[in-house]
Amino acid sequence: MKNINNEQDVLNTINSNTMTVVYFSGKDCGACDVIKDKVENILKYYPKIENVEIDGEKNIELAAQFNIFSLPIFLLYINGKETLRIGRNINLLELESKIKRYYDMLF
């Protein structure tokens, strides 16, 4: 995942791609790292999805602009609109199923 640190880069990424995953994590969050690895493994089967990571602890104002109040948070944007928001308790099988469904519809 590519790291992003400012709002304009995030918005440009979201608006210039059909599907974008924005993953908010924290460096002191053990669950964030474990889930990130698993999400990255899922996303490698969907190469047309752009994915970025934001350190929500370091970029508190940016996290607040996206209404992020806990970490990790997985956001899926389709054509610039938030379509899926999953918080700390991520069911990876369900997440992959939803990503596949949207991906198959769009590509």
For residue 46, give the nearest of 105, 86, 88 by alpha carbon. 105
Tokens of 59: 């970029």
Residue 89's pLDDT is: 83
Q: For 13-41, what is each residue's pLDDT tens digit?
A: 999 999 999 999 998 888 898 999 999 99
Q: How confident is the model at residue 90 (pLDDT cuts 50, 70, 90)?
A: confident
Choice between 88 and 45, residue whose per-residue pLDDT is larger: 45
Whole-model pTM?
A: 0.93
Residue 28's pLDDT is: 86
Q: Per-residue pLDDT averaged across 63-87, rounded?
A: 95
**What proportion of the chain, given as a percentage, has pLDDT over 90?**
90
Euclidean distance between CA atoms 60 and 37, whole angstroms: 23
- Total domains in the chain come to 1
Residue 107's pLDDT is: 95
CATH number for the domain spanning 46: value is 3.40.30.10
Domain that holds residue 9: 2-106
Torsion, Cα 40 41 47 50, to 10 degrees, reads -10
